[in-house]
Structure 1
């Protein structure tokens, strides 16, 4: 069945990862998504990891574009971070930052946001350096393969983080459930899953292109997680504050859960 959406699909068509970062995550004065895409994410991750229940050897990151700021808190609780990306452009953008190459996207404004929340800011000298050191591998994956990283077989993860990816790769409810099941299959028994997404969103603009987004609500995500054998430990939503026609989400959602053993 052909997709009737006029919008492009992230995992099929790919997008300009630098423009995506500049539109939604930069420190530019006209970047209006700071409260939603930066502060909301950083604060919720800080709270969840501070409790101390989520930690271990391996964290797998399955997120949209070439994001970094959602890994600041995680790098304090995991020895190794494995980042999975669906296209080469996102891999190149991320590696440029990891290797501190000229022209890498500037994330300093986001590390400052976390520093403002830390009780002891003196220990916050090089959060970005810790993330760089923790990222052991950046691997390309194929969503349609049974083993997404074939021929590589990844070790089971203690935690999987997925920021906004399910929004863009899912055409409908069945897709969302299928892909979430794939992601949860990367976890150890009892492992933790953290999902960051946008509620009631139908599109996202990157440059001149509009990309499809699957529209869902909080109740849907909760039911899917419970149906897949997860126990929800934490959930927070935030109504949209950004004024922009680049994208049409109504709210942000952050949800942390663990898989029943």
Structure 2
């Protein structure tokens, strides 16, 4: 489908709270819990617990104001740097970091994480650890060669990008271009972790449909290899529950490291 028929996340923006309520809340009507919450948390918990990916700096480049994918990471990195491309998502995230009234409640995701870890009584501690490690939430411009210009970020040991490439890339060439920019933020030997939706064309926030890049697992693998990455792990989870909010067929989790 022509992406021009749908809104674009980085150009038109969306209501950040509605996005979280649609796809990541603990409401009984939400049908994406296994794909959007449990699957990422399980994958990240297992991967980080193996001890191969750790260091000083982790940079997060993810869609919306997501937090749940950082619960596992906060145990293995001293500094979490979150980059966002619009002010509304920054405000939404900072509301949670500062524990302000009206912040989105991620308690269900924290509980899920500690249950998976086997520490079911430590969910509040987990949230505080993320808040303590999250030192910077900053705005970036993906159209610039240095997306943080004039700021120069410290080279990252790891980058996590959850569903951002899906939302901002108009075509596969765009995906490669943005992936190249992400790669420049990594140290040699550093890791990149991607979450995405396969075979999707749109997602809905409120009354608006937004463009979603349509790609498959083969493309995601080739894109990383083409940018000099070696793939360490790739898992997919097929969608089992249908809903008109979004039309993806599977979720992909892929980990790769940058050649030294």
TM range (shorter): over 0.9
Q: Which runs of 5+ in 1 are unaligned?
A: none
Report the number of matched residues.
Answer: 259
Contact 2:111/2:120, CA 8 A, preserved across alignment? no
Matched with 1:238 is 237
Indicate if the aligned counterparts of 2:114 and 2:122 stay in contact, CA closer than 8 A.
Answer: no
The Cα of 1:124 is off from its aligned counterpart by 5.1
Q: For residues 118 and 90 of structure 1, what CA distance do their matches in structure 2 show?
A: 29
Q: For the Cα contact (< 8 Å) 2:110–2:124, is it kept in 1?
A: no
The reply to whether residue 103 of structure 1 matches residue 122 of structure 2 is: no
Q: Is the 8 A contact 1:35 1:241 kept in 2?
A: no
The structural deviation recorded for 1:184 is 1.0
**C-alpha separation in 1, matches of 2:123 and 2:34:** 22
Name the SS of the counterpart of 1:126 in structure 2. Answer: helix
- TM-score, length-normalised on structure 2? 0.97
Alignment of 1:7-22 (within 5 A): 7-22=6-21
Q: Residues 123 and 89 (structure 1 numbering): CA distance in 2 closer, same or farther, change over 3 Å?
A: closer
Superimposed CA distance per residue, residues 190-236 of structure 1 (whole angstroms, 9 cap, x where no aligned partner):
00000000000100000011100000000101011111111111111
Distance 2:3 2:164 in 1: 21
| TM-score (normalised: structure 1) | 0.97
Contact 2:3–2:211, Cα closer than 8 Å, also in 1: no
Contact 1:36/1:241 (<8 A) preserved: no
User: Structure 1 residues 239 and 58 mapped into 2: Cα distance closer, same or farther (>3 Å)?
Assistant: same
The reply to whether residue 74 of structure 1 matches residue 76 of structure 2 is no
Please report the RMSD computed on the Cα atoms of aligned residues, expressed in angstroms: 1.1
User: What's 1:89 paired with?
Assistant: 88
Unaligned runs of 5+ in 2: none
Question: Which residue is equivalent to 1:130?
Answer: 129
Separation of aligned partners in 2, 1:173 and 1:159? 23
DSSP-derived class of the 2:45 partner? helix
